[in-house]
Amino acid sequence: MDRIPILKMGPFLLVTIQVDMHDRLAMTLQDDLTSRIADTGARGVLIDISALEMVDSFIGRMIANIAGMARILDAHTVVTGMQPSVAITLVELGLSLPGVRTALNVERGMSLLQSFLDDSDPLVEEPSPVDEGAGAGPEE
Amino acid sequence: MRAPVPVLKSDELPIRSSSDVVVVRQLVRTRAIEAAFSLVDQTRIVTAASELARNTLEYGGGGRARIDVIREGVRTGLRITFEDKGPGIANLELALTDGYTTGRGLGLGLGGARRLMNDFQIESKPGEGTRVVVVRWH
C-alpha cells in the first residue's frame, strides 16, 4: 500500500503531499503523522501542499484533524504553499480551516515553527535570564 | 425540463471505491482544461465533483458519474451527473444545509458543491436512489 513519506528534521516533521490523494491515503497519513509525533516527540509539523491542485472537505478535515491531534501531543502544525485557486475554492466550499496556521512557503513555515519553539518552552536548555543579562554587556 | 443542449463530449465512469473518486476528479480536470476554464474555475469544478463523487460512494453505496462538455449558444459548459441506486435522501432541504450530515463528514458536500457550480439540480426518491446534476458555464 502506498504511503506519503514523513521526514524528520531536528524537532520538526516535514510532509510534502505530491499526489492526488484518495481518501484512504489521507487517513493513513493522518494516522502515520500522529504516531510519528508521539514516537519522536516532534514539536512541529510542516505540511507542504503546494503541489495539491484541490483540497476538498475530506482533505480539509484531515488537515484540521492533524493540527488538532498534533496540538494535543504538544506540537504545532503549519500548512504551507496553498495555491490561490485552492484557497478561493476552499472558502467558497465553506471551509476556512480555523486553528490551522498557514505560511506562503516552506521557508516561512519553518521559521514560524521555530518561533513557536523559541517562545513556548521554558524547559528547553536556554541561558537563564541572569546569565543572559550578565553576558550581554559588551566587553571593554 | 429544459430543451436538450448539444453534447460535444461525453464520458461515463464508475464510482465504486475511493480511487474511482480520484479518477473522476482527474477526468473532470482534463475536460475543464480542454474547455478552457480558468484555473480557479477548474479548481471549483474538480472540488465540487470530488464532493459529489464521494457522496455517491459513501451514501449511495456507489454509482456512476457522467461528464459532458455541452454548448448552449455561445457558452460552453461542463455538466456532471452523479447517479446512485442507494437509499435516497428523505429530506433534501436538510441535506443541503451546511453542517448537516448523517455520516462522518463535515456536511459541506452538497451545499458546497451547489455554491461552487452555476447550476445545481438534485432528485432523490427514498429507496430508489439519488441523481445530482451540476453545470459550470463560461
Q: Compute and round to an integer the Cα radius of gyration of chain A.
A: 18
Q: What percent of chain B clears pLDDT 90, i.e. is strictly above it?
A: 82
Q: Is residue A114 part of a domain?
A: yes
Average pLDDT over residues A62-79: 95
B2 located within any domain: no
Looking up residue B102, the CATH number of its domain turns out to be 3.30.565.10
CATH number at residue A69: 3.30.750.24
- Number of separate domains in chain A: 1
Model confidence at A120: pLDDT above 90? no
* Residue B83 domain-assigned (yes or no): yes
More confident residue, A98 or B110: B110
- B-interface mutation test, from A89, A91, A97, most B Cβ less than 10 A away: A89
What is the domain count for chain B? 1
At residue B90, the pLDDT reads: 87
- pLDDT for the residue B5: 86
Each as own residue / partner, the long-range contacts of residues A4-7 (CB below 8 Å, 24 or more positions apart, any chain) are A4/A28, A4/A29, A4/A32, A6/A32, A6/A33, A6/A36
User: What's the pLDDT at A121?
Assistant: 60
Contact criterion met (CB < 8 Å) for A23 and B18: yes
ipTM over 0.90: no
User: Among A88-92, B85-89, B94-98, which stretch is predicted with the lowest mean pLDDT?
Assistant: B94-98
Pairing of the two strands A12-16 and B75-84: unpaired
Closest-approach residue (CA) in chain A for B106: A57
Phi, psi at A91, each rounded to 5°: -70, -40
Cα of A43 to nearest chain B Cα, Å = 28
Confirm whether A30 is domain-assigned. Answer: yes
Identity of residue A54: M
Answer whether residue B24 is part of any domain: yes
The model's pLDDT over B21-74, given as tens digits with 9 standing for 90+, comes to 999 999 999 999 999 999 999 999 999 999 999 999 999 999 999 999 999 999
Give the CA radius of gyration of chain B: 14
Full residue range of the structural domain in which residue A101 is found: 6-136
A1 inside domain: no
Q: Which residue has the higher pLDDT, B95 or A75?
A: A75
In a domain, A73, yes or no: yes
Q: Which domain holds residue B95?
A: 7-137
